[in-house]
Chain A
Amino acid sequence: MPKRSRFLEWVDARTGVPSSLDRTASEQLRGGAGLRYVFGSALAGAFLIQLITGLLLMASYVPSSSHAWGSVWYINNELDFGWLIRGLHHFGSSAVVILLALHLVQTIVLAAYRAPREFTWWLGLLMMFAVLGLALTGYLLPWDQKGYWATRVATNIAGTTPVIGPVVQRVLVGGVEYGNQTLTRMYALHVGLLPMLIVLGLIGHWTLARRHGLTGRDRPGRTDSYWPFQVFYNLLAITVVLGILLAIVWVNHGVTLEAPADPSGTDYPARPEWYFLPLYQLLNEFDSDTEIIGTMVIPGAIVTVLFLLPVLDRLLPRRLVHFGACALIFGVLGGAGALMTKAILADKNDAAFLLARLEADRQRDRANALADAAGLPPEGAGYLMARDPLSRGMALLEANCLSCHVYGGQGKVQSQVAQPTPEQLEASDPSRLGTLSGALPEQVLRMVAFALPDDIQAESASTDLGEHGETLYRVEGRNAQDERVVAETAEGDAHVVVSTFSNQSACDLKGFGTRDWLRGLLEDPSSPAYFGTVPQCSGMAEWKAGSELSAEQLDEVADFFAEHVIPYREGLSAASWELQFAEAEEPPPGYTHFMNECANCHLWGLGGADGTGVDSPNIYGWGSPTWIRRMIEEPGARDLYGYLAEHEQMPGFAGQLTDEDLDVIVRLLRGEFLPPVGVLEGPDEEEMPELIADQQDGD
């Protein structure tokens, strides 16, 4: 026994801690120290890493549904090594789960649950639940799509527990709706209750383990003391764990952060963390009426048997129980592995999942780019996407406008994935594709015939070479509404993607309300980008046919609009606005051309049928947000397109869109948004920095 200082003697006399440490240090390990004893310590070490990184994350995290996402984004992107700390914490949870499984297996194989170690075993099992609880609660905290949807699923599973389920769910969620209270409750569990339980459990578990000594087969030969021999191996194991974690975090550049939680979104492909995948798949194995077998009965039975092991050990033949326990644990692990593989393979072959995943990736990148460019709005991360013309605005445009209009030449594309079962494939009739029947392999034809709706007239088929050298098949046709329909599949795929393209019957909205759009209209009104597909707006084409304005003069008209019409001032009447040009000694040239050629139809501030047989909308303030909003809400107003017959007018959207939605649409049309990533290298590189700057001080 080493000599202690007087101070330590003093402490020891009062607490006994130093001598108990000494006793541990000098504990004798028959058969020598070695890696076979490290699992418990490695697990404790991994948990310690979680405690440290978790505490660091707490220093910057906010448990609020508006700001959790932003704070995690900030940790990930702005704080030094934040990505590393968060990455360690994220992947560290996997390390804890893996080491837990190893420790559990080793304990069972060595039959260390036997007397006198019952309490060590039970305490260990309880801590295992606390660890799984930590993993579940931690998943939600970033309040991104992934955590949000996975937690909805998890809490709903809790809700299916007989009798107490609904109450438990409501208490966990903090009400019926998921929000601030859900987050604060999960947070309290994650950083308070559960870690505290584990720390207490660890102290007990460890004390008991010291009391009973390490379990291991006695080997002849060397006997080592705990310090420094076993301590060295333990630390070595922890170092290896930490090294592997660092490597994983490094290779992955930390952990990604999905787009902020969007409770109104529907198609987020929610999946739990990998170690919960077996449970997730087990759930999928059962129909809804027997679902409880997968969610409660099977896991519950396994857990009960584990808890009862020390008791069974007394009641039944010990060797039999041990054999049974080993069979059970390897069976469970094997089964879990099989379920996990099944879940992963199922996703890999599920085209709908892959499409949803692609969309989720796109949203994630967009959210990150937006946060990067201008930070988060004060109202929170939920508004990051809701105020983004390219996200929310595009979704609104697709839902409301693109069945007639196009944006950048693109109309509405509805994609569907068809994945026929072998029987359905057998039953499908390739002869409906008529003359194409010979062009493609039988199997592909059957799939396409299955995927395409009945009203399709197939027109052409083609094959192409894909990125990885696989053959791509494509069948085009038209449906009863004469919309273009394209079915695509690739060699070896079990699914067909069917896209329906809307027919354009109105102008291209990209850039509407800008000088460029107007200039294009003045150049060629009958292009499909303008009124080429809108026969009721043929007036502009008629004007063009007889117009004498040169290209420069048209430029001047466009300049006049950009300088004086689009920057519309609320509350200024058309008449008083026009005075400044009408009375000017030298009116802007664009104004003069306008008066000569356009004012016959377009009188400032007036519109509709004027009795002269020339009908036109009022274009005072054209292109301004106010004008565009009015056009969206009441296109049939007397001064706009009220002169058209009702069935020729654009349908009005008054009362259907909120102010924020209108705003985001207007900005989408006028191109006032952060350009998507990748566009920056595009041709008009020069305009982009300005756009970003506009966006930043715009609102």
Chain B
Amino acid sequence: MNRRDWFRLGAIGLKGLIGLVLAVPGAAYLLSPLRKRREDTTDFRRLARLGDLEIGRPRSFSIVDEQRDAWVTYPATPIGTVWLVRQPEGAEQPVLALSAECPHLACKIKLAGDGNGFVCPCHASNFTLDGSRVKAISPRGMDTLEVAPIDPNDPNAEVRVKFQRFRTGTEEKIPLA
């Protein structure tokens, strides 16, 4: 190694150092959204009383919540819709909660005209009343949401649902945190 080589290596080293010192925080800064997870504040929310629901006749309920957009907090507005389906007596779970967000590409799922199933208007996806697929347009059936345990014999029992979003377009149901 002669003097020239030392200087050459030194220059390359310094260049790398400067680049690294700027690039690492810069990349971390730009990639913050990957690391940043919303704290799991999803709690069970009261949507209805058991007596409000009739067996086999789904009803939709809005989920109202504060919205945070980066630094702005928007006052409570509807952020999603949930279909509640009362199950026949003796069912394991008295109420089935289905998210109205289509697992295909996130359109809003409606009740079919005859009331015996669900349809998604965007790409004509059909689902049965328990949320399973009729056609294989959507990669999976409607997303079920967790319902807090209910006493099936008390019409005044509160139906409480944990609202969550899931990734669309996947066969698996992957929660968006």
Contact of A232 among B10, B36, B66, B72 (CB under 8 A): B10
Which positions 1-54 of chain B face chain A at CB distance < 8 Å?
Answer: 4, 7-8, 10-11, 14-15, 17-18, 21-22, 25-26, 28-32, 35-36
Q: Does A188 sit at the interface, judged by CB under 8 A?
A: no
Cα–Cα, bound, A53→B18 (Å): 13
Nearest to A697 among chain B residues (CB) is B66
Q: A228-B8, A231-B11, A696-B66 are in contact. Are A70 and B72 (CB under 8 A)?
A: yes
Q: Does A540 sit at the interface, judged by CB under 8 A?
A: no
Q: Are B71 and A78 in contact (CB under 8 A)?
A: yes
Cα–Cα, bound, A84→B22 (Å): 10
Complex contacts, A79 vs chain B, CB 8 Å = 29, 32
Q: A228-B7, A232-B14 are in contact. Are A375 and B68 (CB under 8 A)?
A: yes
In the assembled complex, how far is the CB of residue A411 from the closest CB belonging to chain B, in whole angstroms? 35
Contact of A81 among B4, B29, B68, B76 (CB under 8 A): B29
Cα–Cα, bound, A699→B74 (Å): 9
Contact of B25 among A84, A374, A378 (CB under 8 A): A84
Nearest to A373 among chain B residues (CB) is B73
Question: Contact residue range for chain B?
Answer: 20 to 34
Q: Does A73 sit at the interface, judged by CB under 8 A?
A: yes
In the assembled complex, how far is the CB of residue A80 from the closest CB belonging to chain B, in whole angstroms? 4
Q: Does B75 sit at the interface, judged by CB under 8 A?
A: yes
Nearest to B75 among chain A residues (CB) is A699
Chain A positions 31 through 72: 1 when the CB is less than 8 Å from some CB of chain B, otherwise 0: 000000000000001000100110010010000000100110
Complex contacts, B73 vs chain A, CB 8 Å = 374-378, 696
Q: Are A235 and B15 in contact (CB under 8 A)?
A: yes
In the assembled complex, how far is the CB of residue B173 from the closest CB belonging to chain A, in whole angstroms? 29
Contact of A371 among B11, B22, B71 (CB under 8 A): B71
Q: Are A375 and B71 in contact (CB under 8 A)?
A: yes
Chain A positions 259 through 301: 1 when the CB is less than 8 Å from some CB of chain B, otherwise 0: 0000000000000000000000000000000000000000000
Contact of B30 among A56, A74, A239, A699 (CB under 8 A): A56
Cα–Cα, bound, A372→B76 (Å): 19
Complex contacts, A374 vs chain B, CB 8 Å = 73
Cα–Cα, bound, A337→B7 (Å): 38
Cα–Cα, bound, A699→B73 (Å): 10
Contact of A71 among B17, B18, B30, B71 (CB under 8 A): B71
Q: Does B70 sit at the interface, judged by CB under 8 A?
A: yes
Q: Are A228 and B18 in contact (CB under 8 A)?
A: no
Q: Does A110 sit at the interface, judged by CB under 8 A?
A: no
Q: Does A82 sit at the interface, judged by CB under 8 A?
A: yes
Nearest to A69 among chain B residues (CB) is B71
Complex contacts, B28 vs chain A, CB 8 Å = 80-81
Q: Does A229 sit at the interface, judged by CB under 8 A?
A: yes
Q: Are A239 and B71 in contact (CB under 8 A)?
A: no
Chain A positions 673 through 698: 1 when the CB is less than 8 Å from some CB of chain B, otherwise 0: 00000000000000000000000110
In the assembled complex, how far is the CB of residue B79 from the closest CB belonging to chain A, in whole angstroms? 14
Interface centre among B26, B29, B73, B74 (most CB of A within 10 A): B29
In the assembled complex, how far is the CB of residue A141 from the closest CB belonging to chain B, in whole angstroms? 15
Question: Contact residue range for chain A?
Answer: 35 or more
Q: A80-B28, A80-B29, A81-B28 are in contact. Are A376 and B22 (CB under 8 A)?
A: no
Complex contacts, A228 vs chain B, CB 8 Å = 4, 7-8, 10-11
Cα–Cα, bound, A67→B71 (Å): 9
Complex contacts, B14 vs chain A, CB 8 Å = 232, 235-236, 238-239
Q: Are B71 and A85 in contact (CB under 8 A)?
A: no
Q: Are B72 and A238 in contact (CB under 8 A)?
A: no
In the assembled complex, how far is the CB of residue B177 from the closest CB belonging to chain A, in whole angstroms? 17
Cα–Cα, bound, A73→B74 (Å): 17
Interface centre among B15, B18, B71 (most CB of A within 10 A): B71
Q: Are B11 and A235 in contact (CB under 8 A)?
A: yes
Contact of A56 among B10, B26, B35, B70 (CB under 8 A): B26
Q: Does A242 sit at the interface, judged by CB under 8 A?
A: yes
Which positions 75-106 of chain A face chain B at CB distance < 8 Å?
Answer: 78-82, 84-85
In the assembled complex, how far is the CB of residue B22 from the closest CB belonging to chain A, in whole angstroms? 6
Q: A85-B29, A235-B18 are in contact. Are A376 and B11 (CB under 8 A)?
A: no
Complex contacts, B30 vs chain A, CB 8 Å = 56, 59
Cα–Cα, bound, A577→B92 (Å): 44
Cα–Cα, bound, A236→B68 (Å): 45
Cα–Cα, bound, A193→B7 (Å): 38
Cα–Cα, bound, A235→B8 (Å): 11
Cα–Cα, bound, A543→B119 (Å): 70
Contact of B7 among A45, A232, A371, A375 (CB under 8 A): A232
Q: Does A609 sit at the interface, judged by CB under 8 A?
A: no
In the assembled complex, how far is the CB of residue B41 from the closest CB belonging to chain A, in whole angstroms? 11
Interface centre among B14, B15, B21 (most CB of A within 10 A): B14
Q: A56-B26, A79-B29, A375-B68 are in contact. Are A239 and B17 (CB under 8 A)?
A: yes
Cα–Cα, bound, A229→B3 (Å): 9
Complex contacts, A236 vs chain B, CB 8 Å = 10, 14
Chain A positions 653 through 680: 1 when the CB is less than 8 Å from some CB of chain B, otherwise 0: 0000000000000000000000000000
Cα–Cα, bound, A617→B5 (Å): 94
Complex contacts, B70 vs chain A, CB 8 Å = 70-71, 74, 78
Interface centre among B8, B36, B72, B76 (most CB of A within 10 A): B72
Q: Does A246 sit at the interface, judged by CB under 8 A?
A: yes
Cα–Cα, bound, A188→B68 (Å): 29
Contact of A246 among B21, B32, B35 (CB under 8 A): B21
Cα–Cα, bound, A223→B26 (Å): 39
In the assembled complex, how far is the CB of residue B7 from the closest CB belonging to chain A, in whole angstroms? 4
In the assembled complex, how far is the CB of residue B32 from the closest CB belonging to chain A, in whole angstroms? 4
In the assembled complex, how far is the CB of residue B31 from the closest CB belonging to chain A, in whole angstroms? 7
Nearest to A71 among chain B residues (CB) is B71
Nearest to A375 among chain B residues (CB) is B73
Chain A positions 230 through 256: 1 when the CB is less than 8 Å from some CB of chain B, otherwise 0: 011001101100100010000000000
Complex contacts, B17 vs chain A, CB 8 Å = 239
Cα–Cα, bound, A231→B10 (Å): 10
Chain A positions 375 through 391: 1 when the CB is less than 8 Å from some CB of chain B, otherwise 0: 11110000000000000
Cα–Cα, bound, A85→B17 (Å): 17
Cα–Cα, bound, A371→B15 (Å): 39
Cα–Cα, bound, A547→B32 (Å): 65
Q: Are A229 and B71 in contact (CB under 8 A)?
A: no
Q: A232-B7, A235-B15 are in contact. Are A378 and B22 (CB under 8 A)?
A: no
Complex contacts, B25 vs chain A, CB 8 Å = 80-81, 84-85
Nearest to A77 among chain B residues (CB) is B71
Contact of A378 among B8, B18, B26, B72 (CB under 8 A): B72
In the assembled complex, how far is the CB of residue B171 from the closest CB belonging to chain A, in whole angstroms? 33
Nearest to A74 among chain B residues (CB) is B71
In the assembled complex, how far is the CB of residue B9 from the closest CB belonging to chain A, in whole angstroms? 8
Interface centre among A71, A74, A81, A236 (most CB of B within 10 A): A81
Cα–Cα, bound, A242→B74 (Å): 40
Q: A232-B7, A235-B11 are in contact. Are A85 and B72 (CB under 8 A)?
A: no
Nearest to B74 among chain A residues (CB) is A378
Q: Are B29 and A378 in contact (CB under 8 A)?
A: no
Q: Are B72 and A67 in contact (CB under 8 A)?
A: yes
Q: A59-B30, A374-B73 are in contact. List 15 more A-B contacts (CB 8 A).
A: A56-B26, A56-B29, A70-B70, A74-B70, A78-B71, A79-B32, A80-B28, A84-B29, A85-B29, A235-B15, A242-B18, A371-B71, A378-B73, A696-B66, A697-B66
Q: List 20 A-B contacts (CB under 8 A).
A: A52-B26, A70-B70, A78-B36, A78-B71, A80-B25, A80-B29, A82-B29, A84-B25, A228-B4, A228-B7, A229-B7, A231-B7, A232-B11, A235-B11, A235-B18, A236-B14, A242-B18, A242-B22, A697-B76, A699-B75
8 closest residue pairs by CB, A with B: A375-B73, A70-B71, A235-B14, A81-B25, A228-B8, A232-B11, A228-B7, A74-B71
On B, residues with C-beta under 8 Å from A are 4, 7-8, 10-11, 14-15, 17-18, 21-22, 25-26, 28-32, 35-36, 66, 68, 70-76
